[in-house]
Amino acid sequence: MSETGPLLRARVSIDLGSLHLSVELSSATGAVAVVGPSGAGKTTFLRILAGLEPRARGRVTVGGAAWMDTADGTWVQPWDRRVGWVPQDTLLFPHLSVRENLAYGLSRVGDSSSPAPLDDLAELVEARHLMDRRPAVLSGGERQRVAVARALLSRPRLLLLDEPFSALDRPLRDELAPRIRGYLDRHGIPVVLVSHEEADAHALGCREFHLVEGRLTP
């Protein structure tokens, strides 16, 4: 991923009736955090980046490639964007084991045959002992760790974290966050984190923006 200009550039807006969101964000660094109160539109912003809000208008480029541009009709489907999406409630597939959840995104990378990265990432988020369990029996924190590992395993071009540490206690967050950051740096994966807590942004070493009433301020 050669860098010519900002890694992530987004100038998007969406009108959902109750929420009018208009965000302009440009970042040359690999890690951005959007901090704001609940209801400010943080989750919607991530969904726009993931390609899950077809009603959004504007332009998004990642690593120089345009994902959407309503000016010229560019639209990359969510399955072709390669984002790693970690929603707040994790959305693990309830009918699959942890191992199957982790492996779900591997098929697009084409190396589902080798379990090595799968085990490595399970190790990274301390989920190796959970592999054969169903999501329903996991604790909230365990689910979040598995969800992060699943997102990373799909080799994303952009990682989207939605309140990823909300269910982790502080010591665990402080232990895991640097590991994840290290992994992102090693693989050159940019990340957008949204949270209502600045501490999350600090833990992952993100450049911080504040989202208030649908508008972004540094």
Partner 1 sequence: MPQTLCAVLVLGILQAPSPPAPSQRPGGDLRVWAAASLGPVLVGLEAPWEAQTGARLVLNLDASSRIARQVAEGAPADVLVTADRAWMEWAFEQGAADPAQARRVSANRLVLVASRDGPRVSPDPPTAPDDLDSFLESWDSTRRIGIAGEDVPAGRYARESLRALGRSEQVGPALVTGGNVRTVLEWVARGELPLGFVYRSDAWEDARVRVVADVADSLHTAIEIWAAPVVTTANPDAALRFVEFLSGSTGQGAFREAGFTPGAGGLRDPPSLLSPTDSRPPVASVRSAIRISVQVALVATLLSVIPAVGLGWLLARRPFPGKTAVSALLLAPLVIPPVVTGFLLLNLLGTGSPVGRALAALGIPVAFTFLAAVMAAAVVGFPLFVIAVRNAFEAVDSRLEEMSWTLGARPRRTFWRVSLPLALPGIGAGAVLSFARALGEFGATVVIAGNVEGETRTIALAVYTLLESPGDSAAIWWLVGASVGISLLALAGFEYLSRRQRHLVRRNPDV
Number of residues located near partner 1, criterion CB under 8 A: 35
Q: Judge contact between 156 and 82, C-beta under 8 A.
A: yes
Outline where 12-88 has alpha helix (H).
42-50, 78-81
Name residues contacting partner 1, limited to 126-165 (CB under 8 A).
135-136, 140-141, 143-144, 150, 154
Name residues contacting partner 1, limited to 99-128 (CB under 8 A).
104-105, 107-109
**CB-nearer residue toward partner 1: 158 or 212:** 158
Phi/psi for 124 (5° steps) reads -55, -40
Q: Quick check: 52 binds partner 1 (CB under 8 A)?
A: yes
Q: Angle at which helices 170-187 and 140-153 pack, to 10 degrees?
A: 0
Burial (CB count within 10 angstroms: exposed 0-12, middle 13-18, buried 19+), residue 172: middle
Minimum distance between the CB of residue 173 and partner 1, rounded to whole angstroms?
Answer: 14
**CB-nearer residue toward partner 1: 24 or 100:** 100
Name residues contacting partner 1, limited to 57-96 (CB under 8 A).
77-79, 81-85, 87-95
Residues that bind partner 1 (CB under 8 A): 50-52, 77-79, 81-85, 87-95, 104-105, 107-109, 135-136, 140-141, 143-144, 150, 154, 166-167
